[in-house]
Structure 1
């Protein structure tokens, strides 16, 4: 995932909390508690306290935040001519959402049925019968709730917009206002700190503090997010206005979201912290994770690992045990070593190899974080 920031003035890179984006993350955590084991106490208590009627209405719209995050929760980035920055309050951000035109609102809300593939120039399901049919067919495949919501959205967009705002306002009254009062000060402090780092140490240093999955090229023209998804965005699109916003979240880990829709300013929605600082620091790139899984998947390397997991061995010892040549063993060990899975040390004139069990044990959690990032 890349963001083109060539010729973007430094003053147009911002760090700012967003109450509406945080509400979407809170709703996601409530609908997918397994993604967020560190929030178990909050999700359990909040779900138990929800009014049953509100809980039922949330089920009607949960596909807006359950498996994907609709861009409507970052409306500030999608209104041409706007400031491009989040509002200070949820009401302000909902007002910005109300100002979004129906075409953009519908395309964003229908992300749950894969209508919005982030291709420029897609026909509008509000005007094109074929596009409408495709949207409803995709929604039907996702389930009856998605189909019902999509049909209502296309038939009476204005009514659905009123319904959704009222639903989010009820969430605010039920649990989010208190949650936001608790988390907003830390998010504001984090935004101020990273802004200071950006101004004093530069973008590379600021990105390093945001996430190990972010980096900028030496020329300072392209930001890359290490995610299992392909996409591009530009922070200097004249049609919507220049700017790049980083939005912190307390509820996001392990998700690192990058809004990259055509005609929208790019946004990076980043978690403030992971459940384990050591895990976050040790998490590797997607490429490294792939190399480790491929290294372990080979039948002979799996057999070698059986021995290497129990004790250190030399190349010659492994060749004798498994009946293959020493050069073959060396080639397999080289693959494991390049993947960072072996510890090697010298014992006199012998070089011994052993599997690093702590790294192997972390592959499962690294895989989960990588695919959810």
Structure 2
């Protein structure tokens, strides 16, 4: 198992408790994130521009106040473990959550991954957590700081304010959007459910995202999420929910905090620039290209196929030295190698190199 991944222990968990299902609340959270960070979502440029231009200034201002809940990280309450058919039903479920739990997840807005797997006490009852929440909010601007102060002082009133904001976003732009994407998300979830029943969990996960896999050995079964974070959680006595998303690409969110049923939100939209590469592959490719000699070799290998001896002669190096550099490029998947008679010719795989930037960006946004 790799050093960076989120692992969900599902040993003995019946497949009936692994559910693929769309969530209107989760997709609204994605839509709000796309409006707050349009650079993350170039495919949604036209939608984000049109939607932002049509927003009433008062609603846009309220969205800005609360955007720490979906801008850089995602508050856990925006990823329901038990999705409902309508946004109203999911908001009703949130209303039944106690204040300590709701405020704790709403204000978990740090980029740090050290606290999340262990959990922190709610800032409503713990002085250190309260100071931390206020400091994190202050770093995001005066509007966010004032909002967090209000939430800590009047959690019940602020929760009602958040519900009204989400309902107003629904009326302003999301209801029509949801009607368009709901059919696609339902079909995607049904397809993955059928795969799970007919061909097993491994194939259903692989179909959802190349970053999802099933790991099985003598110690049990685990869902592994290939991300640039390390975490683990136990779902053996609960369940796992997978939420398809149109607005979420390229992000792959995983809810795995203590006390929460694990939820994975994966992009349902087809990739336009190839499949998602594992984080380790992206790292190998970036490292392979950092050496100056290999960079120079790529200049030749991008233009034509060359043998090891030809490259050695061109750069004044020994054949074994060139072979070692070529081996690094080959291990990273950057070379196409073919035999011509007694010669082995190497050439740069242009299509793979062209994707490195987008693969890296997807890895860090996943």
TM-score (norm 1): 0.92
Counterpart mapping for 1:264-283 below 5 A: 264-276=260-272, 279-281=273-275, 283=276
Q: Distance in 1 between matches of 2:29 and 2:119?
A: 27
Give the secondary-structure state (helix, strand or coil) at the position aligned to 1:100: coil
Q: Give structure 2 stretches of 5+ with no counterpart.
A: 1-5
Instruction: Tell me the CA shift for residue 347 of structure 1.
Output: 2.6
**Higher mean displacement: 112-121 or 342-351:** 112-121
Query: Aligned in 2, Cα 1:26/1:251: closer, same or farther, shift over 3 Å?
Result: same
Q: Distance in 2 between matches of 1:107 and 1:358?
A: 45
Point out the structure with the larger helix share: 1
Q: Distance in 2 between matches of 1:113 and 1:337?
A: 39
Counterpart mapping for 1:110-149 below 5 A: 110-113=107-110, 117-120=115-118, 122-149=120-147
Q: Does 1:47 align with 2:52?
A: yes
Out of 310, 315, 328, the position equivalent to 2:303 is 310
Counterpart mapping for 1:10-89 below 5 A: 10-74=15-79, 76-77=80-81, 85-89=82-86
C-alpha contact (below 8 Å) 1:136/1:147 kept by paired residues: yes
Give the secondary-structure state (helix, strand or coil) at the position aligned to 1:346: strand
Residue aligning to 1:169: 167
1:116-166 Cα deviation digits (max 9, x unpaired): 832436333212223222221222223223322221111111111010000
Query: Aligned in 2, Cα 1:190/1:342: closer, same or farther, shift over 3 Å?
Result: same
Query: Aligned in 2, Cα 1:121/1:341: closer, same or farther, shift over 3 Å?
Result: closer
Out of 346, 352, 357, the position equivalent to 2:345 is 352
Residue aligning to 1:228: 228
Instruction: Tell me the CA shift for residue 214 of structure 1.
Output: 0.7
Residue aligning to 1:290: 283
C-alpha contact (below 8 Å) 2:117/2:231 kept by paired residues: no
C-alpha contact (below 8 Å) 2:18/2:240 kept by paired residues: yes
Give the secondary-structure state (helix, strand or coil) at the position aligned to 1:221: strand
Residue aligning to 2:256: 260
Q: Distance in 1 between matches of 2:354 and 2:112?
A: 38
Out of 313, 317, 325, the position equivalent to 1:320 is 313
Out of 76, 81, 99, the position equivalent to 1:102 is 99
Residue aligning to 1:82: none
TM-score (norm 2): 0.94
Q: Distance in 2 between matches of 1:339 and 1:36?
A: 27
Q: Give structure 1 stretches of 5+ with no counterpart.
A: 78-84
Instruction: Tell me the CA shift for residue 206 of structure 1.
Output: 0.7
Q: CA RMSD of the aligned region, Å?
A: 1.6
Query: How many residue pairs get matched?
Result: 358
C-alpha contact (below 8 Å) 1:274/1:280 kept by paired residues: no
Instruction: Tell me the CA shift for residue 194 of structure 1.
Output: 1.4
C-alpha contact (below 8 Å) 2:254/2:262 kept by paired residues: yes
1:232-255 Cα deviation digits (max 9, x unpaired): 122235xxxx11111111101111
Instruction: Tell me the CA shift for residue 87 of structure 1.
Output: 1.3
